[in-house]
Structure 1
């Protein structure tokens, strides 16, 4: 099905968005503390989920970053769109800004 094909005017259409971000952790302690606070303040986590979240934060700083990803906020203000499902993960990766393929989407810091 292409974007111009329709199965009915009122039929829901689902779109899978794939987004890849590379984030540099510049202060692991600050990130960990903020993530632990985020987990402590999350009223929707049950005790088991909270324990798993704390363990993930303690083991790997990439686990900390995942607690700040909010797909609802990403699509919340888009008219005519409702979030149907969301999954995401964070993991350490190799990053070489000089390597092939990385420069295409690299955010350049401006010198002041």
Structure 2
């Protein structure tokens, strides 16, 4: 790919820590989204739907991942077309009072390497994560709302 062609593509990394303030509301919304998604698809195996429902009932991170759609982040930006996306969600320990929570001055990790740049090759998403144009499933096979 020539320099002019590669300049057309930009990797935007976004990292957020969200506090789950109402697990029941989050899970309920995720279950409604799954019901709507599987209702629209039709013909989906009942086992796949049960697996998705179980995942969002058991794990708030799975419920959140099923509802967050990276496509929505850029859909209204003029002159931009999403070429590829990946996302994941996990439960983490978080202390908002810890000054080292966001180490924004350090572009790499402790050994000076930026492992995040190597984690996602330019032409593929991390295994198990969503790519633009896939079948609409997010993390762990849980459909996302999109």
Structure 2-normalised TM-score? 0.58
How far is 1:53 from its partner? 1.9
CA distance in structure 1 between the aligned counterparts of 2:52 and 2:85, rounded to whole angstroms: 18
CA distance in structure 2 between the aligned counterparts of 1:50 and 1:17, rounded to whole angstroms: 32
Structure with larger RCO (C-alpha < 8 A, sep 6+):
2
Q: Please, which of 20, 23, 44 is the counterpart of residue 25 of structure 1? A: 20
CA distance in structure 2 between the aligned counterparts of 1:22 and 1:33, rounded to whole angstroms: 21
How far is 1:37 from its partner? 0.3
Q: Please, which of 3, 7, 11 is the counterpart of residue 7 of structure 1? A: 3
Gaps of 5+ in 1: 1-5, 106-112
CA distance in structure 1 between the aligned counterparts of 2:28 and 2:58, rounded to whole angstroms: 13
1:96 to 2:91 alignment: no
How far is 1:49 from its partner? 4.5
CA distance in structure 2 between the aligned counterparts of 1:51 and 1:82, rounded to whole angstroms: 33
> Which residue of the partner structure matches residue 75 of structure 1?
74
Aligned length: 98
CA distance in structure 1 between the aligned counterparts of 2:97 and 2:41, rounded to whole angstroms: 42
Return closer, same or farther for 1:49/1:14 CA change in 2, 3 Å cut-off. Answer: farther
The RMSD of aligned alpha carbons is 2.4
CA distance in structure 2 between the aligned counterparts of 1:26 and 1:92, rounded to whole angstroms: 14
Q: Which has the higher mean CA deviation after the structures are superposed, 46-55 or 86-95?
A: 46-55
Question: Who wins on radius of gyration, i.e. which is larger?
Answer: 1
Return closer, same or farther for 1:98/1:66 CA change in 2, 3 Å cut-off. Answer: same
Gaps of 5+ in 2: 105-146
How far is 1:103 from its partner? 6.7
